[in-house]
Amino acid sequence: MTDSMHRILVVEDDLAICAVLQTLFEGDGFRTVAVGTCRDAISFAQLQRPDVCIVDLGLPDMDGLRFIEEVRTWSAVPIIVLTARTQEPQRLAAFEAGADDYIIKPFSGLELIARLRAITRRLARRNRPEAVLHLGSVEVNLETRETRGPEGKVLKLTPLEHRILECLVQHAGALVTHEQIMNEVWGPQLADLRSLRVYVASLRRKLERDPAQPQYILTEVGVGYRLVSDGE
């Protein structure tokens, strides 16, 4: 899929910002649809299935977090938060709800386009055959964002666990540094090595036969992690 085929849903009630974003995205080859309320955004996302969502948190009918939480019950569409909220708890709440990125207003158009392009590159990787990996009796599907255990039972992973696993799967077989994982999952301003280790330990409890002696999520001491699938 080329960039020109990607459709972006902008959820923003400020008409001036909508106009700026539409000009920015369409000038770079993306198709853009803008809506001003959370309810309209949820309805559009359900019916039209956009490729990426850009959402403000301060919407007139309800908080943008509601949009993220609702969409995450049925879709893995990438979501970028674009908001004036700067407090760390607010950013963490957005990531916990399922946001993929968080950009604070006023924003750089060039940076926003760069992040959007990074997400569409990941979309392209998800749609390749290797988007499905097997870790023993566990199947990880990046396209559907589902992880299944024995007998096809869905394993319940948190949004942050999903993103860490997704990062490792996309680089399966290669060493992924702590910094790279933290930047992709939390962003450079929220990097937290202790939290990363806690989430990796939780993933191992859910995915590994023996979490104390992992076979698939391997530790490279002092550097990062390496995911080894059955095909490697």
pLDDT digits (tens, 9 = 90+) for 87-101: 989 999 999 898 988
21: burial class by Cβ within 10 Å (0-12, 13-18, 19+)? buried
Band the pLDDT of 72: cuts 50, 70, 90. confident
SS3 16: helix
User: What domains are there in the chain, each with its CATH number?
Assistant: 3-126 (3.40.50.2300), 129-227 (1.10.10.10)
pLDDT digits (tens, 9 = 90+) for 154-191: 888 888 888 898 888 877 788 888 988 887 787 655 66
193 has pLDDT over 50: yes
pLDDT digits (tens, 9 = 90+) for 103-132: 999 999 998 998 898 888 776 655 554 567
CA 154/CA 54 separation, integer angstroms = 28
> What is the rounded average pLDDT for all residues in the chain?
86
Total-model pTM: 0.57
CA 100/CA 111 separation, integer angstroms = 15
